[in-house]
Amino acid sequence: MIFRYVKLLLVFFILSGSLEAKTQFFKEGLIFFKNKKFEEAKFKFEQDLVLNPKSELSYLYLSKIFKSQKKKELEEQNLNTVILLNPRNEDAIYSLARLKLDSSDYKKSQELNDKLMSLCDKFCNKSQKLKIEIENLSKK
C-alpha cells in the first residue's frame, strides 16, 4: 500500500516538473519575442513544441516570427497547424486570410474571412475591414 502512494507521488513530481518545463520554454520564448529577439524566441518555441507538440500558441508565435522574416511558406505551415489544433483560433484565421490576400488568393482569403466572421469575438473589426479589402482587390 505504501509503495502505491510512493509511486503516485513520484509520478506526480515527475509530471509537474515536465509541465513546468513546457510552460517555462513558452514563457521565455514570449519574452524574447516581445524584445524582438526572434531567433532566440524561435528556439524557445521549438523547445516548447518538443515537450508539448499541441501547443497552438508556440505555432502561432512561430508563424509571427516567420512573417517578420518574410518566410511565407513557413508562416503558412505554422498557421495551418494552429488552425488544425484549434479551428476557432481567430488570430491564426485572420493571419492566414491576410497571407492569402497578399498572395492574390482572393477566394481562399474570402473563405477564411467568412469563417472568421462566423466566429467573431476578438477580430470582428479586423474581419470587416478585411472583407472590404478583399472585395476591392478582387474587383481589379
* Model confidence pLDDT, tens digit, residues 47-73: 999 999 999 999 999 999 999 999 999
Q: Which domain holds residue 12?
A: 1-86
pLDDT in tens, 98-129: 999 999 999 999 999 999 888 877 878 888 88
Give the CB-side neighbour count of residue 43, counting CA atoms within 13 A: 4
Burial class (CB in 10 A: 0-12, 13-18, 19+), 128: middle
Q: For the domain that residue 4 is a member of, what is the CATH number?
A: 1.25.40.10
Average pLDDT, whole number, for the chain?
A: 86
Residues 99 and 133 grouped into a single domain: yes
More confident residue, 85 or 17: 85
pLDDT at position 138 over 90: no
Grouping H, G, I as helix, E, B as strand and the rest as coil, residue 54 is coil
What distance in Å separates the CA atoms of residue 62 and residue 32, rounded to the nearest whole number?
Answer: 12
Cβ neighbours of 65 (radius 10 Å): 22
Q: Give, in order, the Cα–Cα distances in Å from 13 to each of 20, 23, 54, 84, 119.
A: 11, 16, 22, 31, 39
Amino acid, res. 37: K
pTM attached to this predicted model: 0.78
Residues 101 and 128 grouped into a single domain: yes
More confident residue, 13 or 63: 63
Per-residue cell: 83: 488552425
